[in-house]
Structure 1
Amino acid sequence: MEHVDVAVIGGGQSGLAAAHSLLREGLRPVILEASGQAAGSWPHYYDSLTLFSPARYSPLPGLAFGGDLDRYPHRDEVVAYLLRYAEHLDADIRTGHRVTSVRQAKEGFELDLAGGQKLGAGAVVTATGGFGRPNRPALPGLETFTGTLLHTAQYRTPVPFAGRRVVVVGAGNSAVQIAVELARAARVSLASRAPVRLFPQQPLGRDLHFWLTVTGLDSAPLGRFQRRLSTMAVIDDGHYRAALAAGRPDRRPMFTRVDGPVVTWADGAAEEVDAIILATGYRPDLGYLAPLPGALDRAGRPRHRDGTSLAHPRLAHVGLEWQRSLSSASLRGAGRDAARAARRIARQLRAR
């Protein structure tokens, strides 16, 4: 059985950043990517998605985005950037290699791959699965809905919804962005338990990420107060505020029930709708770690502190939401968390 220094599970932004940091520590990582290219989930996001941070604040370590650094790169630009980054990275990237389980072994870990292969590794970095499972809340009667029911993971473009009655559930960035986009072609309501919280994209004339960087808040360990402030805040250049004020889409309290095609609103009004889109976030999907005792909690979330497993010192995570800071799950934060994980793994392997 082949044995490697470090197996990095996932070849998206977090896996590429992890490999870069591990190489700087003198280790030889192997990236195991299930898909056919090292671009992570980006190719599967909706067509109009753009970064909320400008290009100057968004690169992975060692390679700038290039071009106008004040632009907000769209989805396809990010995909092209990640593929370019993978080409420049002197790492062993193996696409089409899906990890199905990770187990303890005498010399670290043993990984099972979907094709029946096995791989030994002195350490493991998980860089995929943090957002692997779409969250579908148990809304009353939703299972009876007879129209089109999608999670944002399945949404691509407003074209199929033209002229239809659509409800988007959620109050975060994706919910507002998709609802406003859809409202140009359909009759759309944004349904949420709490009001939409808008935050200016350029306070005092500078991009929000300039202020987060100069104050250190973007990379600071995430305290409870900071996390509460950042949760569900929608970054807005004024476009979303104007659209909501004009009722395109209109924002309503969460509906109370669904009966077949009929949605009943909090004020008692009922109407037929054609589609419901759930912009309700994701949950971790790291079932491949289940064979490792103590690696996951009962809900399937990784047990860790700042990305290092509480049960296995040579198991690290990169790219988890709220892993350590406000930016942990983003392009701009992946490099910082990856560097910390690589240093700790290098110390563990040298000690061995």
Structure 2
Amino acid sequence: MSSTRSTNTPAGPSAGTAPVVVIGGGQAGLATAHTVRALGMGRPVVLEAANRPAGAWPHYYDSLTLFSPARRSALPGATFPGDPDGYPARDEVVAYLADYAARLDADIRTGHRVERVRAAGSGGFEAVTANGEVFAAPLVIAATGEFSRPHRPVLPGLDAFTGTVLHSAEYRRPEPFAGRRVVIVGGGNSAVQIAIELAAHARVTLATRHPLRFMAQRVLGRDVHLWLHRTGLDTAGWARPLLTGGKGTPVMDTGAYRDTIAKGNPDRRPMFTRLDGDQVVWSDRTRERVDVVLLATGYRPGVEYLDGLGALDANGRPRHDGGVSTTHSGLGYVGLEWQRSFASATLRGVAADARHVLSRLRERSRSGRRPARAGRTG
């Protein structure tokens, strides 16, 4: 790794060509750029909408910590500082990504929001930014990942709810909710972490469609992510229901979460029937006034710049096979949830996926093969 050039200075209507254009400068984009260099594919251009290459991390809630230890969360070529068995906090991840980008031999352009990707006459692509710059390349990797577009589900009465509605993407700290009645919709890791933090200041309920299913964070003294990797469960398709839902929403836990929720602060209840004014109507038909509904309902891939290319399905999700587009030669994805493994959308999974995708795209380019139209949607 060596020095990098980051800039938000416009370069005119035509910004030139690159061997690979990477869209997104977060963990997926940075891992992809490093892999481009490692595979000898030239010096990539990384286009990042924000003013720094850190992806969605600066926008998460203050107390967020990684769900995998530092030793399992490093990007290629740079160990994560601090306790290797510790779980880095949000600001530590932001600092790590900034340092990684500063030493990465790539042309990183911050302040460059890609508005659309179009096919070029040469068979490659052109990425067009909000300020009209055009970056041409034979290969484009969409690395804006899974966490840039908050998902707001359709819930009965939600649009007419007279209290406060916010997504977990807007939550920062618990103090503004002191003394309020809060219902959190969702039961994943972030939902539980936020609920327990809020419960010290407010009365909180987790409303979920399925019971919470706690998974041991550590097994035989080692983090579960180590065992998932060593046993192959990370990438085993048959294991996906066990790791992502099954008969309950999985939550990584050292035991503290389970014990706290068992005591009823916060409590967990079946999903409510509807919202009515400032009230929630529970499944047993009881009503309760609520101040805040917090949606911990996840995200959708932020790849709307591909809308006009024909690379997405009717729901706006990429058509791909393990991150390789099934609609366009030269187009790939890194950072999608379950792209190839349980860890695909995480720090510990993006590098392996980047190598897989770039190797397949390079092989396809050399052989002249066109993508099959079949393939799953991520």
Deviates more, 1:166-175 or 1:8-17: 166-175
User: Deviations for 1:91-117, whole angstroms, at most 9, x for unmatched residues?
Assistant: 110100111001111230111110011
How do residues 26-65 of structure 1 correspond to structure 2 at under 5 angstroms? 26-27=40-41, 28-65=43-80
How do residues 188-337 of structure 1 correspond to structure 2 at under 5 angstroms? 188-218=204-234, 220=235, 222-223=236-237, 225-231=238-244, 232-293=249-310, 295-337=311-353
When residues 129 and 100 of structure 1 are mapped into structure 2, their CA distance, relative to the original with a 3 A threshold, is: farther
Which residue matches 1:116?
132
Measured in 1, the distance between the counterparts of 2:305 and 2:55 equals 17
TM-score (norm 1): 0.96
Secondary structure of 1:144's counterpart equals: coil
Measured in 2, the distance between the counterparts of 1:210 and 1:26 equals 30
Measured in 2, the distance between the counterparts of 1:168 and 1:269 equals 18
Measured in 2, the distance between the counterparts of 1:302 and 1:210 equals 29
When residues 129 and 204 of structure 1 are mapped into structure 2, their CA distance, relative to the original with a 3 A threshold, is: closer
Question: Which of 98, 109, 118 does residue 94 from structure 1 map onto?
Answer: 109
User: Deviations for 1:228-270, whole angstroms, at most 9, x for unmatched residues?
Assistant: 1111310001111111111010111111111111111111211
Measured in 2, the distance between the counterparts of 1:45 and 1:21 equals 26
Which residue matches 2:373?
none
Amino acid at match of 1:173: N
Question: Which of 23, 35, 51 does residue 9 from structure 1 map onto?
Answer: 23
Question: Which of 15, 30, 37 does residue 23 from structure 1 map onto?
Answer: 37
User: Deviations for 1:283-317, whole angstroms, at most 9, x for unmatched residues?
Assistant: 12312112213x11111100000100001120000
Measured in 1, the distance between the counterparts of 2:146 and 2:294 equals 21
In the TM superposition, what is the alpha-carbon distance from 1:60 to its structure 2 partner? Answer: 0.7
In the TM superposition, what is the alpha-carbon distance from 1:217 to its structure 2 partner? Answer: 2.3
CA contact (8 A) 2:119 2:309 kept: yes
CA contact (8 A) 2:144 2:301 kept: no
Amino acid at match of 1:237: T
Measured in 2, the distance between the counterparts of 1:210 and 1:132 equals 27
Measured in 2, the distance between the counterparts of 1:112 and 1:207 equals 43
Which residue matches 2:151?
135
Measured in 2, the distance between the counterparts of 1:68 and 1:111 equals 40
CA contact (8 A) 1:56 1:69 kept: yes
In the TM superposition, what is the alpha-carbon distance from 1:136 to its structure 2 partner? Answer: 1.4
CA contact (8 A) 1:244 1:251 kept: yes
When residues 174 and 41 of structure 1 are mapped into structure 2, their CA distance, relative to the original with a 3 A threshold, is: same
Amino acid at match of 2:47: L
Secondary structure of 1:290's counterpart equals: helix
In the TM superposition, what is the alpha-carbon distance from 1:85 to its structure 2 partner? Answer: 0.7
When residues 166 and 45 of structure 1 are mapped into structure 2, their CA distance, relative to the original with a 3 A threshold, is: same
CA contact (8 A) 1:25 1:346 kept: no
Measured in 2, the distance between the counterparts of 1:310 and 1:214 equals 30
Residues 1:74 and 2:89 aligned together: yes
Measured in 1, the distance between the counterparts of 2:209 and 2:224 equals 26
Measured in 1, the distance between the counterparts of 2:27 and 2:139 equals 19
Measured in 1, the distance between the counterparts of 2:329 and 2:72 equals 31
Q: How many residues align?
A: 348
Secondary structure of 1:60's counterpart equals: coil
Secondary structure of 1:73's counterpart equals: coil
TM-score (norm 2): 0.90
Secondary structure of 1:322's counterpart equals: coil
Amino acid at match of 1:172: G
CA contact (8 A) 1:285 1:300 kept: no
In the TM superposition, what is the alpha-carbon distance from 1:129 to its structure 2 partner? Answer: 4.7
Measured in 2, the distance between the counterparts of 1:316 and 1:296 equals 12
Structure 1: any 5+ residue segments left out of the alignment?
none
